[in-house]
Structure formats: structure tokens, C-alpha cells
Structure 1
Amino acid sequence: MKKLILSAVAVFACVLFTNAQSIADNAIGLRLGDSDGFGAEISYQRALGDNNRLELDLGLRSGNSFDGFKLVGLYQWVWNIDGGFNWYAGAGGGLASYEFDNVPAGIDDSETFFFVAGDVGIEYNFDIPLILSLDFRPEFGFGNDRFDNDDLDFDIALGIRYQF
């Protein structure tokens, strides 16, 4: 009976440790969002432990009516679902700056503001060092009322990253 119990515990421990979460030490790629965010962002992830990481995103945008940048930092917790799928949630914030074109001379057309952000998403780790993700990031900005940044924005994005 002792051997049976010991064998059952050993099998359970092996199953538990083989399904343990493992995330890549580093991942770099693109986060392709809607234009309510910044469109395409350069994205970098750094593992901070077995199931948490830091994500840094930099969005640069230049259009006919404005130029700007957005820098985001998020702390994320990652949980294994099954078969290469993970889900994650996190919180953080960032800094953004816009400069508008086609405004009358003498009017300050730039703005810099801070925001807080949440993040929730799902990702798939391929057998090759590639990861695809889909996430939802609500952001609450603190800036000048003139450009309506004191509200809640929602950013949905597809991410593609190389893991190393």
C-alpha cells in the first residue's frame, strides 16, 4: 500500500511539474492595435519570474494631421491554460505626446499626458520561438481637457513576438 501511495504521489508531482508555466526570458516584436491606441507598437517582454513579466511598448505615429509617441510599461501575471495557450493580466501606465498640424500660428498645438492602463489577453506559444497574442488594454488618461484625454480609451491588439 505504501508503494502505491508513493507511486501516486510521484506521478502527481511529475504531472504538476511538467505542466508548470514557463515563459520566455525575452520576447520582441510588434503589437498591432487599433488607431484609438497608436496602431503598431514595438513591443518587448522580459520575464521577471516563472509566471510574471514586464512588457514595454513604444508606439510612434506620423499622420497628415498629427505626430506623436506613446510609451507603455505593464507588469503582467501569466497562467497556463493548456496546449501552448496562456492567458495573462496586468497593470501599468505610460506617457504619450501629440503635436497637431494645421493649427493657426501662435497656438500651442502639443500635449503630453500620463495614463494608467490594465491589460488582459490570451497568447499561443508555437513550437518554434514565435508567440501570437490577442489583448485588450483599457487606458485612463490624465491630461489637458482641450484634447479630450481625460477619458477611458480601449485598445485591442494582435501581437506577434520572437522569443529568445
Structure 2
Amino acid sequence: MKSLIIYCSDYKKNTEVIAQILADKMDSELINIRDVSDLDIESYDLIGFGSGVYKESFSPKLFKLVDKLNLAGKNVFVFSTSGVGMKFYNSRLIKILESKGAINKGSFACKGSFIAKDFTNKKLFNIMGRLSQGHPNQRDFKEAEGFIIRVLDSL
């Protein structure tokens, strides 16, 4: 099986760490979105899309790329890192992928550390930032590995 992971990790490289773990576990090609020029996905059996969450959304670069791809009948999965580590951020991309005929095989999310003052001066985000420190961590790595094993088992 031939697989590819495309990811965007602009801030602290939290998503890149998770992307690498997933790629290693499934012996996948790994491409940072900034390195994508001309992408032929025809030969891939499984494609993962990942992003850090920036201002409550995935990277616009990832949405632009997905818009250009013919994903009909392609097996896909989505992953993200964010200050809260919740899968609901993945929903928008999943809906777009499915609307393009892709077959969603799963969704994964974990916390990624961030410094609140880099984004806002709201105190709530200071608390969230403190709670996210040290993530992704060993537990997140194990959960990512378990997730990709389940995805592979579903094929």
C-alpha cells in the first residue's frame, strides 16, 4: 500500500511531530505543504491531511490544496494539533474531503503547546496555553500510533 501525508505545521512544529510519527508507523511519504508544487496523488491508496489550528481553523494553504485535488474514491484521514486538542477542528476539512468523494477513514487530534501571548491577551487563553505545555507528549504519541493502526486495519 502506498500512502502520503500532507501537513502544515507553521508555529511550534507540533503537527510535524505527529505527522512524522504517523508516517513512520505506516511507512508513508511525508510532505510539508510549503514543499508542495505539483502533486500527483493518483498512485496513493491512503492520504492523510494534517494541520495545526490557527485562529480556530486549519491552514488556508491546506484548504486551497484540497480544493485542487481529485479525491474521488480516495481513502483519507485528518489529524490536527491545537491548544485544546479536540477533533471538532477537523470537521470542516472532513466535510470538504467527503464532498469531493473521498472516503474518510478517521480523525485524530491532540494538544499542541502554545504561548497565549503570541496570539491574544485574553486570560482564558493563558490558562489553555499553560495546560497545553509539554504537548504533544508520550501519551499523545501512543494515541497517534493507535489511531493510525486502526486506520490501516480499516482498509
Considering fraction of residues, name the structure with more helix.
2
**Bigger relative contact order (CA 8 A; separation at least 6):** 2
Higher strand share: 1
Shorter-normalised TM range: under 0.3
TM-score after normalising by structure 2: 0.27
TM (norm. structure 1) is 0.26
Kindly name which structure, 1 or 2, has the bigger radius of gyration based on alpha carbons.
1
